[in-house]
Structure formats: C-alpha cells, structure tokens
Structure 1
C-alpha cells in the first residue's frame, strides 16, 4: 500500500538518497522559487520528465519534475502481465527540492520489461509512460548479453534573452530522435550537459533556473523517457568556462547535479563530487569528476601538486579498477585524456598526475581499459601508444571523444595520435555496441550524425585490450 513520504523517512528510496538534507537546502538558499510556484501543480501535469535514471537488476530510478507542489507516484507492471499493477510510495514535490522527485521502483525482477505510468495528484500524466528494462542476471549462468550504450557531450540549448548577441550557438536538436530509436540500454552524458550563462552564474538562484529551463526542453523529453540516463559534468554545467576547484558556488552546483540526475551514487561519504561507477553487464563505467578537485589551468604543468582529478579520486579509481572483473573497463571524464595537441584543458596540462596513473596502469597490467571524453566540440578516436614494460609492449590506449550534441562544432586540431578517418566536425553522438561471446566478444564504436547516419565505425577485440 503506498503511503505519503516525509523528509524524515526519505533516505531509503527518495530524494535524500542523493545526500541532500533539508537543512542544507534551506540554509543554502538553494531553490527560492517565487511563492506562486509553490502552489499545487495541476493534476496529471509534469514540468519535465519522466526520465529514467540508473536501472539495475532489481530496481530502477524514475526522475520527474512537477510545475508546482504535488504528490507523485509511479504505477508499474510487467508488460506481459499488465494486470499485476503495483504502485511506488507517494512522494511530495516541494520548492526546497526544485519540485523534483527520484522515485525508486524496487523489488523488481531481473530481465523484465516494466510499463510505467506516472501520476500527479492522483491523475495519470497523459502520453508520458515509459518502458523500464531491468538488467538480466548472467554471471555464473551464461555469456554476457549483447547491449548498446550511447554517449555524447556539449548540449547547448538556445535561450536568446540570456545568450550572447548574434546567431544562436545551439542547434541540431533533431539528434534526439535517432538516439531514441536506438533503444539503447544506457546513455552516458559526458559533461557540458547544459550551459550556464553569465547572468545565471551571478547567483545560485540563476543556476537553479537554468537547470529548470533546460530540463523541460521539448525535443529532449522522449529520449529521457526511452533510455536509462547517467551523467558526469564538465565546466559549463559545473560553473563558468574553464572553472575549477575555486568556484564559490560549487556546493550549489553539486546539489543541483544530484537533484537533476539519477546516478546510483555521487562521490564517497568523505570525498564529495559526481564520480561514480556504473555497471552494465560485462562493462564497468568509471565516471570521473574533472572539476571539483581541479587546479587552475594556469598553474605550471611542472608543479607536482597540480591535479585534475585529485589524490582521493585517483586512489578510488585505482582500487576500483583492481576490484573490477569486467571485460571492459571504461574510464570517462568531461575533458580529454590523451590529446597532446590540446592547448586548453586536457589531461596533458596535468602531466605529472597523468604520468603517475599511466605508470601504475602498466605496473599492474590492467586489461580491458579504454577511455571516453567530451568537451572539444569535435569527435575523434585516439590511439595512445605505450612504451615497452616488463619485456613486452603494452596495448595502446583507446580514447573515444564524442562531442558536440547541440553546441557549435569546432574544426579540431593536429592530434598526431588520432586514428585516420575519425575526425567529425559536425553535431553527432557516440554508440558503443557490445556483442559476441567468449574470446569473440567485441566492442564496436561508432559516431552518428543528427539524422542517425553512421560517420565511422571501429571494432575493438578483447585481444586489443590486453586479454589473452
């Protein structure tokens, strides 16, 4: 039987799973919306969503936002047993929570498709159902299933009143139609998932309003319903351009990220940030935070203390890689890892931190590692060579940079490690297809344009990633 929530009991399923407390919200002045917005929302109406968050084998998260205060819940049932309907707990959306809810569907069965209907003030939201597919159980039972992951970065949505004068910087919003048709198992947003404007960044309130505006963007809604979504950030959805650890509103930025994205976790109890690990069958995605601990770009590259990810996060990453049993270990960040021509914000500007990690990676002979990145407003595939180690040459590191979704494209640079034919200087999204069994398990990387047409593909075998 569903029951109404209150903030004191919310930590098991709801909003407080993000680590945001009532006191933090109110004391920080996080969402001081106009009083009229706190009035009851019209029944059966959403401001944005529903969006699928992370979906596991026995649970899934559905995010939604109402236009004002409301009671919300999800009614759900297996698609082949529609008469076995259940309801989640009832959740109250409030101004202190930006009228957002993270509704957890639990006690689900693995490998089952669930039809989900959101309700607002006890009325169904018309035409906003979604299909939630739980992950199958496969370990110790058979080979990993085939699955598809989408990725991309730099999603600029025009807002003329607040944009700089001139031609709109954003476009290509039709890209979300082919992305929806992919019926992917996961979408990994690689940062710059929205762009704070200069006026937004003068106050935490302005930042809150940018999230509220962009999440309700109509071309996004069907895609957010269709596919589980997880995210990391980069500079533009963290703070100002090229922002780093000194950004004074970073705490507010983190609370906003936790409110609007439904990742399985955010940092560690004693190590704040947006980093987390997401598992999809035989792939582990290590999603890094390249802003919270970042030193200023202008710090000398030779400074041993200069870091992009920071010691605590890198220690977490090393231990998580050692613990992982996944065939594919995919490390993702907002900025590029191995483009040494990047004169701006790549990990090449933090050479000591990068060298220490690469040395550790070779010392422990970690197989299956490849990298995802965004930021650069162009797409490319980098193959980064590694030196001889222990009498043999280690496998080269592959980095798939996928950008932009909606921002203005760039021309690219003269990266000498770019694989020929992989530079894309138009709006696009990335596709990772995991197929096959045993030693024939492969990963196919692809880039597709706003119409869903393939620009290039690249096949990676387990042997290419150091598996013998």
Structure 2
C-alpha cells in the first residue's frame, strides 16, 4: 500500500516516500519462480504491455535499464520523469502484486552512453534509489554504484538475481571512425566495465552462491559483440574475466538478462569447462523498438530477432531444472520461446 501512496503523490512526495522500507525479497513461490523483465520505457509514450505483464502473474519484475528517458541530466526533470512512471495505473497494480527490482542504463543514468566521467552520477544514483523506494538509511545508498543482489528461496531450491551497474565505473569507449559502427572494442586490457570494487563483489556473489540458478542482469548485451553499439564486447578482457569467473566459481545455472538494443533476441555460448550453455536473453524495448531493423551479425544468436515492442518472461522450475524463456508482445502474444534443462 505504501508503494501505491508513493506512486500517487505529487512530485515533491517522490523523495519523501523513498524513506519507507523496501518491499521484502521473501517472495513466496512453490516450484517455479516467474520473472518478467524489460527495458527502454519512455515515460512520454504509453506502455501497452503492463496489462500483459500482469496477466502472467510474475513473482518479480526486473527493470533492465532506460527505465525512464531523462538525459541530459536535470535533477528536477528526472524527479518528474520518475514520478510520471510511478503514476501509471497498470504499473501501480504491478507494484501492489509483484516485487520490483532493477538496474539502470544511460538514459536513466543521466548521460547518453555515459560512464565514469558523468559528473552528476552520485545525485542520479540517489534518485534511482528513490524510484525503487530504497530506505534513506540503506547501506546501498552509501556505496558508490547501484549493484546489488537478491536470493529467492522455496522448498524446491533457490534463485539468486545479481544486478550489475554497467555505468558508474565504466571507462571511456573507443569511437570507430573507420566504419558505420559507433564504437570499436578497446585494446585488450584497456579500461574496465564494472570497476575494481564491483568485480570483487561479483566474485564473492558467485563463489558463495548456493543457488540453483544465478540470473545476472546487465543493462547492455553480454554475448552479441559485432553491432558496434554499447556492449560487453567493447571490453574483450572483461568478457574473458567474466567467463573465467563463472567457470571457476562453479556457479550453477547462470543466465544473463540484458536490454538497451530496442530489439529482443536470444544468444548462447558454451564456455569451456562449464558443463552447461549460457544464454543472454535480451528484451527491449517496452514503449518503442527498432522497427526498421534489417539484420546485423551476432555469432551467438539462437532463433530470430524480434523487432516489435515486447517484454521477457523467465520461468525457472526448481524441481525439474527446466527454464522457459519467452518473448511476449502486446495482447499477450508469444513471439518466441526457448527451453533449456540444466
């Protein structure tokens, strides 16, 4: 009910409601945890998908980044943009029934394609936490970067969701002046995506994880690495570091969720020594998509690219160890589906 009050408040109430306790992460489920997620939601455009999200009764909703479009940064504009998002009728219904967590990307960070150089990142971080109703005295607010994790447990097993911050510490990108692509990969070893402290944290999160599935949320794509926009592939040494960590940590059932691209697709890789395939499920965008998409190289793609507005569903069955990944469009239409047993 408190979330609903926050959503209905005036602009000045947005910060005031943020002092309330965050909704408990002790989601009750039996054998299957249902996660819905999506990215690229422009608060100025009607989101036609919230009613479809509600029909699927997710246990958790994950914002995948670009949760509002509020760049270049202006504090009061960003407060208003978040408030607009909170006022949506269907989104208020989702807040009442579903735990809501998430990551940010550049447009809700406050600087298009921005990284470590953004001068207002500390201020925008606090507004990000206001949106998620994080208590004012939360330890998360005192730490630089918006990374965190949640573990969801039932008698059948558990799922850990790891939320990465791919903005706060990210080194400058290398512009590609020799082709039509926006960026080219940095020289191997040059720069960082997560920063030293977040890397240490992620290592401990995976090494210590006893979960049956470890869902890692990245605002930008992890596997697709040929399109020339923002991606993990712009830091090839960081990709290798990530894959090595997944293997050496022996973390079970690692699945990536990503956004940013205004298209939805599945990507898959078999990492040497891991014993199971790793998927990157990209879902984007919620209010607008790349409808003129006519193809791009992705050596890891499974299935086809979906270019209409959609959201993702991830259904994790802890009894059978079966995962169902679904892309869902307006009218609750199933656009593409993929199953994997771990």
Category of TM-score, reference length = shorter chain: 0.7 to 0.9
- Map of 2:146 onto structure 1: 274
Deviation at 1:246, TM superposition (A): 1.0
- Map of 1:42 onto structure 2: none
- Map of 2:326 onto structure 1: 446
Deviation at 1:184, TM superposition (A): 1.3
CA RMSD across the alignment: 2.8
- Map of 2:182 onto structure 1: none
Answering whether residue 24 of structure 2 is matched by residue 154 of structure 1, we say no
Q: 2: CA distance between counterparts of 1:263 and 1:401?
A: 26
Q: 1: CA distance between counterparts of 2:78 and 2:249?
A: 42
C-alpha change, 1:146 and 1:362, in structure 2 (3 Å) is: closer
Task: State whether residues 148 and 434 of structure 1, in contact with CA within 8 Å, keep that contact through their aligned partners in structure 2.
Answer: yes
Task: State whether residues 180 and 227 of structure 1, in contact with CA within 8 Å, keep that contact through their aligned partners in structure 2.
Answer: no
Deviation at 1:65, TM superposition (A): 5.2
Deviation at 1:359, TM superposition (A): 2.2
Answering whether residue 303 of structure 2 is matched by residue 420 of structure 1, we say yes
Q: Pick from 403, 410, 433: which aligns with 2:315?
A: 433
C-alpha change, 1:283 and 1:133, in structure 2 (3 Å) is: closer
C-alpha change, 1:102 and 1:394, in structure 2 (3 Å) is: same
Task: State whether residues 266 and 273 of structure 1, in contact with CA within 8 Å, keep that contact through their aligned partners in structure 2.
Answer: no
- Equivalent residue runs for 1:171-182 within 5 Å: 171=46, 173-182=47-56
Q: 1: CA distance between counterparts of 2:119 and 2:245?
A: 33
Deviation at 1:460, TM superposition (A): 1.7
Task: State whether residues 191 and 232 of structure 1, in contact with CA within 8 Å, keep that contact through their aligned partners in structure 2.
Answer: yes
Task: State whether residues 447 and 455 of structure 1, in contact with CA within 8 Å, keep that contact through their aligned partners in structure 2.
Answer: yes
Deviation at 1:219, TM superposition (A): 4.6
Q: Pick from 103, 127, 137: which aligns with 1:256?
A: 127
Deviation at 1:334, TM superposition (A): 0.5
Q: Pick from 103, 108, 111: which aligns with 1:237?
A: 108
Task: State whether residues 48 and 287 of structure 2, in contact with CA within 8 Å, keep that contact through their aligned partners in structure 1.
Answer: no
Deviation at 1:398, TM superposition (A): 0.9
Answering whether residue 288 of structure 2 is matched by residue 407 of structure 1, we say yes
- Map of 2:27 onto structure 1: 135
Q: 2: CA distance between counterparts of 1:338 and 1:365?
A: 20
3-state SS of 1:212 partner:
helix
Q: 2: CA distance between counterparts of 1:196 and 1:269?
A: 20
3-state SS of 2:332 partner:
coil
C-alpha change, 1:146 and 1:350, in structure 2 (3 Å) is: same
Q: Which runs of 5+ in 2 are unaligned?
A: 176-184
- Map of 1:127 onto structure 2: none
> Under a length normalisation based on structure 1, what TM-score does the superposition of the two structures give?
0.64
Q: 2: CA distance between counterparts of 1:431 and 1:96?
A: 32
3-state SS of 2:108 partner:
coil
Q: 2: CA distance between counterparts of 1:209 and 1:436?
A: 40
- Map of 2:10 onto structure 1: 67
Q: 2: CA distance between counterparts of 1:67 and 1:261?
A: 16
Deviation at 1:197, TM superposition (A): 4.4
Q: Which has the higher contact order (CA 8 A, sep 6+)?
A: 2
Q: 1: CA distance between counterparts of 2:249 and 2:71?
A: 44
Q: Pick from 162, 175, 197: which aligns with 1:312?
A: 197
Q: 1: CA distance between counterparts of 2:26 and 2:239?
A: 36
Which of the two has greater helix per residue? 2
Q: 2: CA distance between counterparts of 1:267 and 1:344?
A: 33
Report how many residues are paired.
326
Q: 1: CA distance between counterparts of 2:318 and 2:165?
A: 32
Answering whether residue 66 of structure 2 is matched by residue 189 of structure 1, we say no
C-alpha change, 1:266 and 1:435, in structure 2 (3 Å) is: same
> Under a length normalisation based on structure 2, what TM-score does the superposition of the two structures give?
0.86
1:221-254 CA-to-partner distances (Å, cap 9, x unmatched) read: 3223232111110001001210111111111100
C-alpha change, 1:405 and 1:319, in structure 2 (3 Å) is: same
Q: 1: CA distance between counterparts of 2:169 and 2:310?
A: 29
C-alpha change, 1:252 and 1:269, in structure 2 (3 Å) is: closer
Deviation at 1:97, TM superposition (A): 6.1
C-alpha change, 1:250 and 1:101, in structure 2 (3 Å) is: closer
- Map of 1:216 onto structure 2: 87
